[in-house]
Structure 1
């Protein structure tokens, strides 16, 4: 149990960290007002670098995603109520992230940002790219929140299971005390 949870937490944390690297671009479009053409060109240039980067990075990220998804699914095999609740929620959030990334984020990066028109930072930003840039930042934020939910569910699972094991230890200790006191009582009566 501990190794599986550890793998899920490590994979999710790694993917969350990978999404946080997009903060360079996303912070300019989500959290700055007003969103200027310079902000949009900076974000678009960042995504253009990603679109034209080495394909091995995608292979590595895909392997990490498969490892995480497989580990969460493997945990469901136990069939315990805690696993169904926490791992079911984790699978849902992990799946939402994967679907959003495969259906929205990656196609937008590769289709829209693979080749940008030559520009200066002060040039007017094309209206067609504006919506794609803002939507990409929003999708990255949604994926980050979903993966944070996976971490919260796994922490909840750990807490619930550790509380159960603490209760079992207390029950075992109380039972042992009860046996010792019952064992001493006949000796006192015999004397």
Structure 2
């Protein structure tokens, strides 16, 4: 596995791991419909904490996203037929994830969880927060599936490259024998 593939796989895995940490909140709402108010409040408190994460941590996350995106685009620059298919698909999936996060997830967190209203344990969740929590859970799931697709495409690329090398070696051995 080359350096570029290693960077893509490692950074994508890191981002996927970051999304998996949201499972704490998302599992409470996404997989148990209808979501109970207590579960929605728990998820809302989680997103409230996430919104107040230190800016340096957000910077690290941004750097990892930048490294992953730049490396996927760099790999696409080889313009080999097998790379175009696998890296083109990776770019589409990575770009879709980035767009989903920038245009849906981040604005949702900033707008709805900047300051969570105080509530009693048995209080009914306001419709705006209920919708925001459910949307975040759905968006995180879509981003996770897309990043898993990036990993699958990169694995496919490595498999094709290894098979091509093995085929070339076999042909070379046959030519040497004759």
Same fold (TM over 0.5): yes
Deviations 1:91-125 (A, max 9, x none): 01000011110011011111101111111332111
Q: 1:51–1:109: 8 Å Cα contact kept in structure 2?
A: yes
- Structure 2 residue aligned with 1:35: 35
Runs of 4+ in 1 over 4 A off after TM superposition: none
- Structure 2 residue aligned with 1:79: 79
- Structure 1 residue aligned with 2:93: 93
In structure 1, stretches of 5+ residues that fail to align are: 179-191
- Structure 2 residue aligned with 1:50: 50
Distance 1:40 1:94 in 2: 29
Q: TM-score, normalised by structure 2?
A: 0.97
Question: CA RMSD, aligned part only?
Answer: 1.0
- Structure 2 residue aligned with 1:173: 173
**CA shift at 1:9, angstroms?**
0.3
Report the number of matched residues.
Answer: 178
**CA shift at 1:160, angstroms?**
0.5
In structure 2, stretches of 5+ residues that fail to align are: none
Q: TM-score, normalised by structure 1?
A: 0.91
Deviations 1:157-188 (A, max 9, x none): 0000000001011111111222xxxxxxxxxx
Secondary structure at the residue paired with 1:33?
coil
- Structure 2 residue aligned with 1:26: 26
Q: Does 1:120 align with 2:107?
A: no
**CA shift at 1:34, angstroms?**
3.2
Q: 1:42–1:121: 8 Å Cα contact kept in structure 2?
A: no
**CA shift at 1:3, angstroms?**
0.5
Which has the larger Rg?
1
- Structure 2 residue aligned with 1:138: 138
Q: 1:51–1:113: 8 Å Cα contact kept in structure 2?
A: yes
